[in-house]
Amino acid sequence: MGAKLRVLIVDDSAFFRNRISAALSQADDIEIVGIAADGSEAIERTRQLKPDVITMDVEMPIVDGISAVRKIMNEMPTRILMFSALTKEGARETLDALDAGAMDFLPKDMNNLGSGVEEANRQLLERVRAVGHSRVSSVRSMPGGYRPQVSRPSPSSQAWNGKGRRPELLAIGASTGGPVALRQVLSTLPRHYPLPVVVAVHMPGSFTGAYAERLNTVCSIRVKEAADRDRLTAGLCLVAPGGKQMQVERGPSSYQVRITDPLPGQIYHPSVDMMLSSVAESFKDKALGVIMTGMGADGLQGAKRLKQAGSGLWSQDQQSCVVYGMPQAVEKAGLSDRVLALDEIGPLLARIAQ
């Protein structure tokens, strides 16, 4: 076995520090190297201990979690997993922390992660490992918020799929690392973008509305959390609501989305597989799917159906992913028409408007 993942636990609640410690102590590949009770202590312990992963609470005295993340990411970039309340305000604070450079988040009430302590512990361990083995983010907090680094696409980048046909719908799926990566891509698209956009990213139901609102303030295109029977419109991005399933279908006069409750046994809601499968059925060979950073393989089955229908598929490359799970699954299956760095995806998609 290789070196253990060295974890610093940061929380002002002794109960929650003990709760995380008990879960992480079960793993042979994880070592708890320190504990901090506020953001100021977290910054100092990070300087001293140089942990591989920090679990960070948002609301703390002296220095809050968001300020601590900014300081740590500016001085000594470290992989940070946030814990936040499942409220709208908690969602906004978590999005601020992700903008500042945190990699991922979990709900503060870990009972929401699954049925029982064992499932909650399993998901916590899985998430700490995923963050711990990922590339350290180079995102820095800036006055006025996050600004993407845009590279100029090569002139040979006109092929949207194997047939070279321009798509009529853009469908994007992501998970771990997705909120920040999606923001970079969508903020590159021009105001009068000629395609409708649908997005499925693994987030709780209390987060997706705040996330869509945040995107709408920083993007030129319009962004909203999808509601049942919303019409697909050029220049509008519909974000699948957390805890629900979003599918695309042909409506009475145009294409629309259907929002439904998840069925028993469905792991992901929203599911990238379900969204892409419905796109394949509705749009046939007239869509472009993009699979971005994320843990697991959600999107693989939907990508297969999309390619069988004749549509195109792009995936994010390993070097620019926080977690190279979902893109790796489609690339290994030979489904990717193009494998692109994060800072290439947005500019190439923007060329559709030219």
Active-site residue set: 175, 202, 298
Amino acid at 263: L
Return d(Cα 183, Cα 11) in angstroms, integer: 28
Contact call for residues 291 and 170 (beta carbons, < 8 A): no
Identify the bridge partners of residue 107 per DSSP, sorted by sequence position. 84
Cis status of the peptide bond prior to 190, with omega within 30 of 0: no
Positive or negative CA dihedral for 122, 123, 125, 126? positive
DSSP-assigned letters across all residues of 183-233: HHHHTTS-TT-SS-EEEEE---HHHHHHHHHHHHHH-SSEEEE--TTPBP-
Return d(Cα 71, Cα 43) in angstroms, integer: 7
Contact call for residues 289 and 313 (beta carbons, < 8 A): yes
